[in-house]
Structure 1
Amino acid sequence: MLSPERLREDFSNSSVENTTAAQDWTQAYEAVRWIQLTMALLSVLGSGSIIVSVVLQRLSRRTELQPLLLLSVSDLLLALCWIIGASLYSRNHSAHTLCYHLHTVEQVLYMASFFYTLNYVFNLYRGIREQHYSCRDGYVQFSNRVSTAGKITAALSGLSPVLLMTPVFIQGSLSQCETNFSEPYRSDAIIKNV
Structure 2
Amino acid sequence: MGSEVDYIIMWVNTTEADDLAEVYYNVKWIQVVTSMLSIVGSGSIIGYAVFQNAVRSPEVRSLFYLSVSDLFLSFCWLLGAFLYKANTRGLPCFNLQSVGQMFYLSTILYTVNFVWQTFRHFRRRISHDLNQISDTECCIRRITTVLCSVVPVLFIVPVFYYGNMKECYGNRSHSCLVLNIGSHVTNDSYKNNVCAILHTYSTTVFMTTFCLATLSILAIVVYSCRLFKIYQKASRTEQDHWAVITVTRHSFLLFPSIFLFCSLPVVTLTLVSMKRMHSSYQALCYIQAFTAISQGFLNSLAYGWTQQIIRCHKENSCRDVDTQTPLLRSQKNLYASMQTSNTYMGPRTVSAI
Q: Same fold (TM over 0.5)?
A: yes
Superposed displacement of residue 61, structure 1 = 1.8
**Higher relative contact order at CA 8 Å, sep ≥6: structure 1 or structure 2?**
2
Structure-2-length-normalised TM-score: 0.44
Which of 159, 162, 170 pairs up with 2:161? Answer: 170
Q: Which residue of 2 aligns with 1:14?
A: none
The answer to whether the Cα contact below 8 Å between 2:38 and 2:71 also exists between their aligned partners in 1 is yes
Q: Which residue of 1 aligns with 2:84?
A: 89
User: Secondary structure of the residue that 2:56 maps to in structure 1?
Assistant: coil
Q: Which residue of 2 aligns with 1:192?
A: none
Is the alpha carbon distance of 1:183 and 1:31 closer, same or farther for their aligned partners in structure 2, counting shifts above 3 Å?
A: closer
The answer to whether the Cα contact below 8 Å between 1:33 and 1:90 also exists between their aligned partners in 2 is no
Alignment root-mean-square deviation, CA: 2.5
User: Secondary structure of the residue that 1:179 maps to in structure 2?
Assistant: coil
**1:50 has 2:45 as partner:** yes
Structure 2: gaps spanning 5 or more residues:
1-8, 176-185, 191-353
Deviation by residue 1:2-44 (Cα, 9 ceiling, x = unmatched): xxxxxxxxxxxxxxxx9x9312133211111111111111110
Quote the Cα distance in structure 2 between the aligned partners of 1:162 and 1:61: 26
Superposed displacement of residue 46, structure 1 = 0.8
Aligned-partner residue type, residue 86 of structure 1 = A
Quote the Cα distance in structure 2 between the aligned partners of 1:165 and 1:99: 15
Is the alpha carbon distance of 1:89 and 1:183 closer, same or farther for their aligned partners in structure 2, counting shifts above 3 Å?
A: closer
Q: How does 1:144-163 map to 2 (within 5 A)?
A: 147-163=138-154
Quote the Cα distance in structure 2 between the aligned partners of 1:170 and 1:120: 31
Q: Which residue of 1 aligns with 2:204?
A: none
Aligned-partner residue type, residue 166 of structure 2 = S
The answer to whether the Cα contact below 8 Å between 2:163 and 2:169 also exists between their aligned partners in 1 is yes
**1:103 has 2:97 as partner:** yes
Quote the Cα distance in structure 2 between the aligned partners of 1:157 and 1:179: 31
The answer to whether the Cα contact below 8 Å between 1:41 and 1:79 also exists between their aligned partners in 2 is yes
Q: How does 1:93-132 map to 2 (within 5 A)?
A: 93-94=88-89, 96-132=90-126
The runs of 4+ residues in structure 1 deviating greater than 4 Å are 182-186
Q: How does 1:71-86 map to 2 (within 5 A)?
A: 71-86=66-81
Which of 26, 31, 39 pairs up with 2:26? Answer: 31
Quote the Cα distance in structure 2 between the aligned partners of 1:54 and 1:104: 29
Quote the Cα distance in structure 1 between the aligned partners of 2:67 and 2:49: 10
The answer to whether the Cα contact below 8 Å between 2:84 and 2:173 also exists between their aligned partners in 1 is no
Higher helix share: 2
Is the alpha carbon distance of 1:182 and 1:49 closer, same or farther for their aligned partners in structure 2, counting shifts above 3 Å?
A: closer
Is the alpha carbon distance of 1:51 and 1:178 closer, same or farther for their aligned partners in structure 2, counting shifts above 3 Å?
A: same
Structure 1: gaps spanning 5 or more residues:
1-17, 190-194
Superposed displacement of residue 58, structure 1 = 1.6
Q: Which residue of 2 aligns with 1:133?
A: 127
Deviation by residue 1:26-83 (Cα, 9 ceiling, x = unmatched): 3211111111111111110110110111111121222221111110000000000010
Structure-1-length-normalised TM-score: 0.77
